Copies of this chain bind each other. A is one copy, B any other.
Amino acid sequence: MSAPSAFLAVDWGTTNRRVFRFEDGAVVHTERDDRGAASVTDFAGEVAAIRERFGDLPMLLAGMVGSTVGWRVVPYVAVPAGIDELVAGLDWIDDRTAIVPGVSCSAGGRADVMRGEEVQLLGAVAGWMVPSDALLAQPGTHCKWATMKDGRIGGFTTAMTGELFALLRGHSLLARALTAEVTDGDAFREGLAEGARRDLAASLFGIRAASVLGVRGDADAASFASGVLIGADVAARMDDCAFEQIHILADPGLGNLYAAAVAATGREPVIVDSHSAFARGVLAIGDKAL
């Protein structure tokens, strides 16, 4: 098929979603709201409401909308996965509404899954924003690290780096020391070096000890802790990484912290806009499926 002149797409996460209206290969309208999959029960009604607002058009849905907290569970497509594999795995709700499948991998006894990130990853390649062989990071609550091979997702690893930080800040012995905003300064850089030792449980207790002994002020503790977690995450991924450039799909805030961490390992970070990458990915799917 060839793409219709206009269609809609939804990047539908657990807590938020973003709706796009495409015309002639470009985003002409996009809006973000908090009606994530976890807070929605009537998905058919939501989709009808989106069409009423954005146009009565074909629609592609990606992300957690295809999970157990979503509309219905769409089977994962195994790696290696490119645009063609995602198109083949589309779950059609009706003849003009489909859910994009997530991707799974299993290597050396370690399993991993993603839902939603695959569209960004493949879009970044389809849109010439990254080479067709590359290592891409998608920082967040669960940071995805994907190895692209010949333009397809060859394998990936998820690190719950952001969730660990939230757990420490919300519920741990360190909670009271971690209230400050995280910034890329000396404390963050010291945290990166400490994190590169990959001894997380000990490095994190060191934050407590430094506070008790007055070695580090609490204003710096959050940045140091973030540095430890991101530093450990990045260091682990550099172990068997053949690439000199590391591409980071992110919003500027978290993207800059990961870029600093990548630079600290001697590699070159390149930040790619994640919304543009999603748009390019969904256009590539729409081009073949709609």
Q: How many residues of A sit at the interface, in one of the four size bands? A: 35 or more
Distance in angstroms between the alpha carbons of A126 and B77 in the assembled complex: 61
Given contacts A106-B215, A111-B210, A112-B206, contact A199 B201 (CB under 8 A): no
Cβ contacts under 8 Å, A209 to chain B: 104, 110-113, 158
11 interchain pairs, CB-CB under 8 A: A111-B209, A112-B206, A113-B213, A157-B202, A159-B202, A161-B201, A170-B171, A198-B198, A200-B200, A201-B236, A202-B236
Contact A106 B159 (CB under 8 A): no
Contact B111 A213 (CB under 8 A): yes
Q: Tell me whether A263 is interfacial, beta carbon within 8 Å.
A: no
Binding site for B on A (CB under 8 A): 76, 104, 106, 109-113, 142-143, 157-161, 163-164, 167-168, 170-173, 190, 194, 197-206, 208-210, 212-213, 215, 229, 232-233, 236
Cβ contacts under 8 Å, A198 to chain B: 198-199, 236
In angstroms, how far is the closest chain B Cβ from the Cβ of A182?
16
Other A-B pairs, 18, CB within 8 Å; known A111-B210, A163-B173, A167-B167:
A104-B213, A106-B213, A110-B203, A112-B206, A112-B209, A143-B201, A157-B202, A158-B206, A160-B172, A160-B173, A160-B201, A163-B172, A164-B201, A167-B171, A198-B236, A199-B232, A200-B232, A202-B236
